[in-house]
Amino acid sequence: MTTEDDIGDALTLLAEHGDAISMYAPGSREPIFGRILSVDPELPHFVMELNDGAVLPPGKITFVSTLRSAKLQFRLSSEDWKPLPGQPLHIPMVFPETCTVLNRRSTERVETPLGITCMALFAVSETTEHELPVYDISEGGIGMHCSKNRAKGLIKGRKLQNVVLEMGEVTIEVEEMEIRFGRSFRSFLLGEQLHLGCMFTKLSPEAIAKVKNVIDQINHP
């Protein structure tokens, strides 16, 4: 993305959803976490809110987040990330000149709506059962969230059989899906969380039709 309008729309979506932003300084693999507090497309600038105790070192910073069905990345640089007066965690920043969109999925995922219970129920062993909230859904898979202490056995490459998706009033039986990635992030309400991206590997025609129907209902409530 290279236009101010597109970049402003993307940053506004991140701000409205309160999505976590991971910030990386050169030479360090440890992310600095925050979120976009507000966006002013007229200036154009935005305000980044850092987590308590976080500090941005001077120099180039790489910003990474997830936007809809893709990862968003951009870089900014400053020798002094000056916060707003009396607000040490709120740092005003200018729009980046470009944003890179990475790992765009073949099928667009839509976020599950607020106020509707969407859960995935499955077992990874005879003694370990899971009931996790579904964060997004597409014709190709789902995204789930859980705390790290609830992620026992949920590793990349594991195939989950006989998964039941409770999507509001619709129940979808998934014969098999595979965990394709796990990404840590920090929720301002729930603390350290894990986002699990799963791909449907065995889905009956009836289940496919139900998934499409759920997506249509989300897009056209």
pLDDT at 106: 54
pLDDT at 78: 95
Between 220 and 8, residue with greater pLDDT: 8
Full set of structural domains in the chain with CATH: 4-102 (2.30.110.10), 110-219 (2.40.10.220)
In this predicted structure, the answer to whether residue 190 has a pLDDT above a threshold of 70 is no
Own/partner contacts of 211-217, CB < 8 Å, gap of 24 or more, are: 211/137, 211/139, 211/172, 212/139, 213/170, 214/137, 214/167, 214/168, 214/170, 214/172, 215/110, 215/137, 215/138, 215/139
Tokens of 69: 């069905």
- List 174's β-bridge partners, or say none: 163
Own/partner contacts of 185-191, CB < 8 Å, gap of 24 or more, are: 185/20, 185/22, 185/33, 186/20, 186/33, 186/51, 187/20, 188/18, 188/35, 190/147, 191/147
Give the model confidence (pLDDT) of 71-90 as tens digits.
889 999 999 999 999 999 99
Place of tokens 């070192």: 57
d(CA 164, CA 212): 16
pLDDT at 80: 95
In this predicted structure, the answer to whether residue 174 has a pLDDT above a threshold of 60 is yes
What is this structure's pTM?
0.54
Under the banding of pLDDT at 50, 70 and 90, the label for residue 104 is low
HEC sequence for 134-153: EEEECCCEEEEEEEHHHCCC
pLDDT at 183: 76
Q: How would you classify the pairing of strands 129-137 and 118-123?
A: antiparallel
Under the banding of pLDDT at 50, 70 and 90, the label for residue 94 is very high
d(CA 208, CA 172): 9
